[in-house]
Amino acid sequence: MTLPLQGRTAIVTGAGRGLGRAEALELARLGAAVVVNDLGQPGRDGTGTSSARPAEEVAAEIRATGGTALAHSGDVADFRQAAELVGLAVREFGGLDVLVNSAGILRDRMVFSMTEDEWDAVIRVHLKGHFNTTRFAAAHWRERAKAGGGATYGRIVNTSSEAFLAGSAGQPNYAAAKGGIIGLTTSTAHALAKYGVTANAICPRARTRMTADVFPGAADPGDGLDPLAPEHVAPLVGYLASPAAGRVNGQVLVVHGGMVAVVERPRVRARFDSKQDTFTYGELDAVLTPHFAERADGEGFAAVEVLGLRRE
C-alpha cells in the first residue's frame, strides 16, 4: 500500500520536542522524508535536563524506524538561516512539498508588566519565524510551478493558538503573534492557491515543555493517552499535508484530545448607516450605545467559548 506522503519531503520547525517532534514522526510514518529543525544547542535546555542537539535525536529516531530524516539546528527567526533550511531540503531531497511551522517560545506576562524584550522575543520566533520559512518555501513552489507550466504540490501547516481566539489575558505577546499567524496564513493561502499550494493554521492544545506552566501536572498513565498529548494533534497535521486535503485552504482548526473543530470566519454582527454624509458623535451615541447595552458583559470579538470545546 502506498503511503499518503510517499515520495514527499517535509520540513518541521521546532521539531526537537513536544508538538513538533510528534508532527515530524507522524509525517515520517506517512512516508515523507523529513528535515527536522530545532534550535537546540549542547548544554541545558532551561528545564534542568541535558539537551544536546534535539533535532539530531528526532532525526535518528525516524531513521531507526526505517524512515528518512535530516537534522537542521538553525534559527528560523533568522532570515538567512530560514533560507538555508529550505535550501537543505531542496538540495538533499530534490524539492520541498510540506512545511510545518511549529517553532515557538513563551514569555508570559500581563500587558502592564511586559518588557520590550519579552514582546520582541515572542513576536520574532513565532510570527517572523513563520514568515521566514514561508517566504522561501513559497518562492520554491512558485518557481517549480512556473517551470512545470502548471500547478505544483505544496502544503503549509502553521501553528496558531486558542490564546488568539480567546484573547488570553496573560499572553499579549503570544496572542498577538498567533493572531498575526492567522493573517499570514490566509494571505498565503490566497497568494499561492493558483500554484497548487494550500496554507492552513491549527490551534493545538497540548502538554509540552513549553506549556508546562499552562497545563501543569501529567495525566495518570493508567487512564490511557493523555487528552493533552501531542499525539492527538499530529494526525491532523499529517492529513493537512496530504493529497486528500487539497480542497482545505485558508482554514483555522482547533485540535486536541481526539477532537477537531473548524473555526468559522468572522461575520458582521450589526451594521449602522448614517442618515447624513458622515456620522456625528451624537448619531453614533444614539445607535451604538443601545446596541452594546444589550450585549452581555465581557462579550466581544474574542471567542472564549473555544476553550470549552471537548470531545463528546
Chain segment 107-146, per-residue pLDDT in tens: 999 999 999 999 999 999 999 999 999 999 999 999 999 9
C-alpha cell at position 51: 539537551
| Mean pLDDT lowest among 33-42, 262-271, 288-297 | 33-42
Q: How confident is the model at residue 208 (pLDDT cuts 50, 70, 90)?
A: low
Q: Is the pLDDT of residue 97 over 90?
A: yes
Q: Is the pLDDT of residue 21 over 90?
A: yes
Rounded to an integer, the average pLDDT of 186-191 is 98
- Indicate which residues carry an active-site annotation: 161, 174, 178
φ and ψ of 158, to 5 deg: -100, 160
How many Cα atoms within 13 Å fall on the side-chain side of residue 264? 8
CA atoms of 239 and 266, how far apart (whole Å): 25
Rounded to an integer, the average pLDDT of 265-284 is 96
Q: How confident is the model at residue 44 (pLDDT cuts 50, 70, 90)?
A: very low
Q: How confident is the model at residue 48 (pLDDT cuts 50, 70, 90)?
A: very low
- Measured CA to CA in angstroms, residue 40 lies from 29, 47, 51, 180 at distances of 23, 13, 7, 25
End-to-end CA distance of the chain: 33
Q: Chain-wide mean pLDDT for the chain?
A: 92
Q: Taking a C-beta distance cutoff of 8 angstroms, is the pair 188, 231 a contact?
A: no
Task: Give residue 77's pLDDT.
Answer: 98
Q: Is the pLDDT of residue 38 over 70?
A: yes
Q: How confident is the model at residue 207 (pLDDT cuts 50, 70, 90)?
A: confident
Taking the CB of residue 51, how many other CB atoms lie within 10 A of it? 19
Task: Give residue 1's pLDDT.
Answer: 81
Task: Give residue 228's pLDDT.
Answer: 87
Residue located via cell numbers 512539498: 97
Q: Is the pLDDT of residue 156 over 60?
A: yes
